[in-house]
Amino acid sequence: MHTDTIDPFFVFNQKGENKMLHAESTDKIINSFFKVYNTLGYGFLEKVYENALVIELKRAEFNVLQQQNIKVFYENHVVGDYFTDIIADQVILEIKASECLRDENEAQLINYLKATDKEVGLLLNFGKTPEFKRVIFTNDRKERFELESTNPCVSVESVSSVFPSV
């Protein structure tokens, strides 16, 4: 019987407040991620975790969109389509079920944020060891990105789990 659970880790300021953009939403999403992980464990395909997470997010009263189409524009021309795994309120979720998170996973999520008005994304990995990364690409940077030819700095808040295996 599976009795071990893995708990999320959050960082708060000295007053016990979490001042990150969409902090309350991302905290609830991460709690839902760990609930799904603790229930299913690892080894399933991404789609299984995505569907289970949608159930948990709806229970947590999020407005959830699954496999939402995002159009990518270049000089007012559609040049591509992406499909996000999940959008929960104002947060884009990219689901992985791999050994570890890779730079290209993070780049994919950053591109989703660039192509939308969403500013916060969570990269959730249901691997042998659960991992998540919180990625921010604010709308003011998107405006600057469109006006300038140089690539703006992308802010990534990374919290990779260093929890014991289940």
Does residue 166 fall inside a structural domain?
Answer: no
* Domain housing 41: 31-159
> If you average pLDDT over residues 96-100, what whole number do you get?
96
| Rounded to 5°, angle at Cα 13 from 127 and 143 | 75
Does residue 63 fall inside a structural domain?
Answer: yes
- pLDDT, tens digit (0-9, with 9 covering 90-100), for 69-95: 988 888 888 888 889 999 999 999 999
Does residue 62 fall inside a structural domain?
Answer: yes
| Burial degree of 145 (CB within 10 A; 0-12, 13-18, 19+) | middle
CATH number at residue 60: 3.40.1350
Report d(CA 29, CA 11) in Å as an integer.
15
How far apart, in Å, are the Cα atoms of 88 and each of 47, 56, 59, 110, 147?
16, 11, 12, 16, 29
Considering its fold, how many domains does the chain have in total?
1
59, 31 in Cβ contact below 8 A? no
Does residue 107 fall inside a structural domain?
Answer: yes
Report d(CA 80, CA 70) in Å as an integer.
8
Does residue 49 fall inside a structural domain?
Answer: yes
pLDDT at residue number 43: 96
**Which helix (DSSP H) or strand (DSSP E) does residue 136 occupy?**
strand 131-136
Does residue 16 fall inside a structural domain?
Answer: no
Nearest alpha carbon to residue 135 among 104, 156, 152 = 156
Nearest alpha carbon to residue 27 among 138, 137, 132, 113 = 132
Q: How many CB atoms lie within 10 A of CB 61?
A: 9
For 14-23, 76-85, 95-104, which range has the lowest pLDDT when averaged over its residues? 14-23
Nearest alpha carbon to residue 123 among 152, 153, 92 = 92
Give me the helix-helix angle, 46-59 and 23-40, nearest 10°: 130
Name the residue with higher pLDDT: 71 or 58. 58
Q: pTM for the full model?
A: 0.74
